[in-house]
Amino acid sequence: MELRAAYIKNENEMVFNIELMNDTKNTKEVSFSSGKQYEIYIVDEKGKEVYRYSDDKFFTMAFIIRQLKSGESLSWQEKWNYTNKMGEPMSEGVFDAFIEVLAMVETMDGGEGQPENLNENTKIEESNLEVVLKFNL
């Protein structure tokens, strides 16, 4: 599995494009424990968090399961209006956007669609579900 992320800076907002792609030869089962399938948070040069996507949001309590065949992907898009946690416009500077997909991933056996017994070779590493994007305002 590969997590890809990119951003597009517009005049009034930044658009984050997120894609979780099955770049393996096996079908993968991707499961989410709620409607919150990803998190984005932005920190300034000093490491202070200035924005968090999930702040002031409510998410459904639902177990979501998706099967991704080889080459298939899940994608999301989120917009940020350049304001901090207080709703104030951000000043210029260098920032890091941390993007994390909040999923559990299992390899499918290809038979009846049941997960294989998990071992070190079939579990996805958490580091594969997070990317960091550096940008300037």
CB 1: neighbour CB atoms within 10 A?
19
Task: Say which residue the tokens 């958490």 belong to.
Answer: 126
| pTM, full prediction | 0.83
Tell me, what's the pLDDT at 123? 43
Please report the DSSP string for 89-109 in residue order. Answer: BPPS-EEEEEEEE--EEEEB-
Domains and CATH numbers, the chain: 2-136 (2.60.40.2360)
Q: How confident is the model at residue 15 (pLDDT cuts 50, 70, 90)?
A: very high
Q: Is the pLDDT of residue 74 over 80?
A: yes
CB 56: neighbour CB atoms within 10 A?
7
CB 96: neighbour CB atoms within 10 A?
14
Percent of the chain with pLDDT over 70: 85
Tell me, what's the pLDDT at 107? 84
Mean pLDDT, the chain, whole residue set: 88
| Per-residue model confidence as pLDDT tens digits over 18-29 | 999 999 999 999
Tell me, what's the pLDDT at 109? 60
Tell me, what's the pLDDT at 96? 98
